[in-house]
Amino acid sequence: MIPENVKSEAGNIRELIRYHNRLYYSEDRIEISDSEYDALMRRLIELESRWPKLATDDSPTQRVGSQPLSRFPSILWDPAMLSLDNVFSAEEFSEFNRRIIRELDLEEDPAYSVEPKLDGLAVALIYRNGVLVKAGTRGDGSEGEDVTPNVRTLRSIPLKLTSDPPVDLVVRGEVIFRKTDFEKMNEYRESLGLEPFINPRNAASGSLRQLDSRITASRPLSFIAYGTARWPEGIASQHSLFNLLAELGIPVNPDNFLCRGVDEVEKAYHRLEENRADLPWEIDGVVIKLDEASLQERMGALSRSPRWAAAWKFEAEEAVTQLIDIEIQVGRTGRLTPVARLEPVFVGGVTIANATLHNEDELHRKDARPGDTVIVRRAGDVIPEVVRSLGRPDEKRGKRFEFPRSCPVCDGPVAREEEASAHRCMNPSCPAKLRESLFHWGSRDALDIEGLGSKLAEQLVDKDMVNDVSDLYNLTLPQLASLDRMGDKSADNLIRELGKSLTSNLQRFITGLGIPGIGRTVAGLLSTRFSDLHELMNADVDEFLAVEGIGPVLADNLHRFFSEKITRDVLSRLIDAGFKPRGSGASDLEKPLSGLTVVFTGGISLPRSEARIMAEKAGAKVTGSISARTDIVVAGPGAGEKLRKARELGLEIISEDEFLRRIN
pLDDT above 70 for 358: yes
Residue 626's domain is classified under what CATH number? 3.40.50.10190
Q: What is the pLDDT of residue 621?
A: 80
Computed over every residue of the chain, the mean pLDDT equals 87
User: pLDDT tier at 587 (50, 70, 90 boundaries)?
Assistant: very low
Backbone angle region of 464, left / alpha / beta, with phi > 0 → left and psi within -120 to 50 → alpha = left
Higher pLDDT: 355 or 193? It is: 355
Point out the domain boundary residue: 283, 298, 313: 313
Q: Is residue 289 located within the same domain as residue 325?
A: no
- Strand-pair partners of 127: 132, 169
Region 150-174: mean pLDDT is 91
Q: Is residue 323 located within the same domain as residue 426?
A: no
Residue among 7, 53, 117, 500 flagged as catalytic: 117
Q: Is residue 146 located within the same domain as residue 164?
A: yes
Judge if the upstream peptide bond of residue 370 is cis by omega within 30 degrees of 0: no
Is the Cα torsion angle 497, 498, 502, 507 positive or negative in sign? Answer: positive
Judge if the upstream peptide bond of residue 116 is cis by omega within 30 degrees of 0: no
Query: Does residue 117 lie in a domain region?
Result: yes
Point out the domain boundary residue: 287, 313, 339: 313
Q: How far apart are CA 321 and CA 572, in angstroms?
A: 49
Minimum mean pLDDT range among 148-157, 411-420, 589-598: 589-598
Q: What is the pLDDT of residue 18?
A: 79
SS3 breakdown of the chain: % helix, strand, coil, rounded to 5? 40, 20, 40
Query: Does residue 407 lie in a domain region?
Result: no
Region 87-111: mean pLDDT is 93
Q: Is residue 573 located within the same domain as residue 616?
A: no
pLDDT above 50 for 588: no
Which residue type does 640 have?
G
User: pLDDT tier at 316 (50, 70, 90 boundaries)?
Assistant: low
pLDDT above 70 for 68: no
pLDDT above 80 for 630: yes
Q: What percent of the chain has pLDDT over 70?
A: 95
- Strand-pair partners of 423: 336, 416
Region 149-176: mean pLDDT is 91
User: pLDDT tier at 585 (50, 70, 90 boundaries)?
Assistant: low
Helices (H) and strands (E) in the chain, counts: 24, 22
Mark whether 117 is an active-site residue. yes
Q: How far apart are CA 507 and CA 427, in angstroms?
A: 18
pLDDT above 50 for 356: yes
Distances 111 to 114, 263, 269, 270, 309 between C-alpha atoms, Å:
10, 12, 15, 18, 12
Which range has the top average pLDDT, 163-172, 392-401, 599-608? 163-172
Q: What is the pLDDT of residue 63?
A: 63
Query: Does residue 100 lie in a domain region?
Result: yes
Count of domains forming the chain: 5
Query: Does residue 81 lie in a domain region?
Result: no
pLDDT above 60 for 66: no
pLDDT above 80 for 393: no
Query: Does residue 73 lie in a domain region?
Result: no
Q: Is residue 284 located within the same domain as residue 324?
A: no
pLDDT above 50 for 627: yes
For 580, residues 6+ apart whose C-beta sits below 8 A from its C-beta are 532, 533
pLDDT above 70 for 471: yes
Q: Is residue 165 located within the same domain as residue 306?
A: yes
Q: What is the pLDDT of residue 586?
A: 40
User: pLDDT tier at 235 (50, 70, 90 boundaries)?
Assistant: very high
Residue 423's domain is classified under what CATH number? 1.10.150.20
Burial 192-225, CB ≥16 within 10 A → b, else e: ebeebbbbbbebbeebbebbebeebbebbbbbbb
**pTM of the predicted structure, to 2 decimals:** 0.57
pLDDT above 50 for 147: yes
User: pLDDT tier at 97 (50, 70, 90 boundaries)?
Assistant: very high
Q: Is residue 329 located within the same domain as residue 307?
A: no
Region 481-496: mean pLDDT is 90
User: pLDDT tier at 567 (50, 70, 90 boundaries)?
Assistant: very high
Query: Does residue 181 lie in a domain region?
Result: yes
Q: Is residue 110 located within the same domain as residue 254?
A: yes
Q: What is the pLDDT of residue 486?
A: 87
Residue 356's domain is classified under what CATH number? 2.40.50.140
Q: What is the pLDDT of residue 584?
A: 73
* Residue 5 neighbours by CB distance under 10 Å: 8
Q: Is residue 133 located within the same domain as residue 208?
A: yes
Measured at the CA of 524, the angle between CA 519 and CA 530, to 5 degrees, comes to 125
Render pLDDT for 285-306 as a digit per residue (tens, 0 to 9): 999 999 999 999 999 998 788 9
* Residue 163 neighbours by CB distance under 10 Å: 15
Query: Does residue 74 lie in a domain region?
Result: no
pLDDT above 60 for 140: yes
HEC-encoded secondary structure of 410-451:
CCCEEEECCCCCCEEECCCCCCCCHHHHHHHHCCCCCCCCCC
Query: Does residue 68 lie in a domain region?
Result: no
Region 234-258: mean pLDDT is 94
Residue 121's domain is classified under what CATH number? 3.30.470.30
Query: Domain limits at 617?
Result: 591-663
User: pLDDT tier at 64 (50, 70, 90 boundaries)?
Assistant: low
Burial 308-318, CB ≥16 within 10 A → b, else e: bbbbbbbeebe
Backbone angle region of 193, left / alpha / beta, with phi > 0 → left and psi within -120 to 50 → alpha = left
Render pLDDT for 20-61 as a digit per residue (tens, 0 to 9): 777 776 665 777 776 677 778 778 878 877 788 887 777 777
Measured at the CA of 209, the angle between CA 204 and CA 215, to 5 degrees, comes to 80
Render pLDDT for 424-448 as a digit per residue (tens, 0 to 9): 999 999 999 999 999 999 988 899 9
pLDDT above 70 for 380: no
Higher pLDDT: 29 or 518? It is: 518
